[in-house]
Structure formats: structure tokens, C-alpha cells
Amino acid sequence: MNARFPYYGNPVAQKFLKYINSAGKAVSDSALPAAVQELVKIRASQLNGCGFCTDMHTKDAAHAGETQTRLNLIAAWREATVFTEAERAALELTEQGTRIADAAGGVRDEAWEAAAKHFDEDQLAALVSLIALINAYNRVNVIVRQPAGDYQPGQFG
């Protein structure tokens, strides 16, 4: 499979990515736990059918020490016993925030309240920002059909 065009080599795309990557740094430098950040990125990418981001973030998570069992169970997190209550709250918020178009009311109050029990305001800001950010990345990669499978941890710095 080939991308529809070389998005990552395009000057307009490079300028856009420079800014979006800066936004991502604000999240990665936040107090939101790194494991939660990777779970959010993986789950949103799965929901959006973004093979490129799913490949990248599962490999990055494994490289950072995430277990294969947890990685295998992200898509079935509701039935899995390997995630903390905080992680489960973040995954629920991720799903609802990613599937806004599927829900007439958007993100339910219960999902927000569950996340707010586990994360302070700065962490919530990072979590919301991360959900929005990974959805943007997913959309870029799905639209251009960016191929998946060749990513190496640390490839983008």
C-alpha cells in the first residue's frame, strides 16, 4: 500500500506538523502519566482505523516498557482486569471524545466525572488536548492512507 501522496514531504504539511507537534510537546511534558498518554493514543487510533498511528504508538509503548498483555487488551479494555481505574476513565473519555459524531449528546457527564476523580485540572487539560491531537493525527494519516508497519521507536525524534 502506498500513501495517496507524500504528505510528510509536502512544505505546507511540514509547516502544519511543526505547529501540531509543538502542541503535542505541551501534552507530553505535562503531568499526565506517560502510560495513560500512550493508551489514549492507541485507543483513539484503533477507533479511527489509523494503522500508522496504531503501529507507532504500540511500538513506542512497548519500547517504554508497556507489557504485551496490556497492549493486546486495549481494544477490549472494558473486559480486561489489567487497567487501573484512572486508565479506564481516560480510555472511556477517549472513546467518547473520539466518537462525538456517534453520540447526540457528545461526551457524557459520567465519563467526565470519572476522569475528574482521577486527574487534576492540568492533567484533564492535557488529556482533553491529547484526545483532540491524536484524532487530528489519525485523520491526516487515514485521509492520505499513510502505510503502517515500518515505524521504529524514536524515528521522529
Span of 98-107, 112-121, 124-133 with lowest mean pLDDT: 98-107
Residue-wise pLDDT tens digits, 49-84: 999 999 999 999 999 999 999 999 999 999 999 999
CA 130 to chain centre: 7
pLDDT digits (tens, 9 = 90+) for 23-34: 999 999 999 999
Query: What's the angle, vertex CA 98, arms to CA 63 and CA 127, rounded to 5?
Result: 60
Give the separation between CA 2 and CA 128, rounded to whole angstroms: 32
What is the pLDDT averaged over residues 85-104? 93
Which residue ranges form the domains of the chain, and what is each CATH number? 9-143 (1.20.1290.10)
Give the residue from 57, 27, 25 showing the smallest Cα distance to 41.
57
Q: What totals of helices (H) and strands (E) does the chain contain, helices first?
A: 7, 0
How high is the pLDDT of residue 119? 98
What local confidence, expressed as pLDDT, does residue 101 receive? Answer: 85
Residues 6+ apart with CB under 8 A from 120: 31
Q: What whole-number distance in Å separates Cα of residue 138 and Cα of residue 121?
A: 26
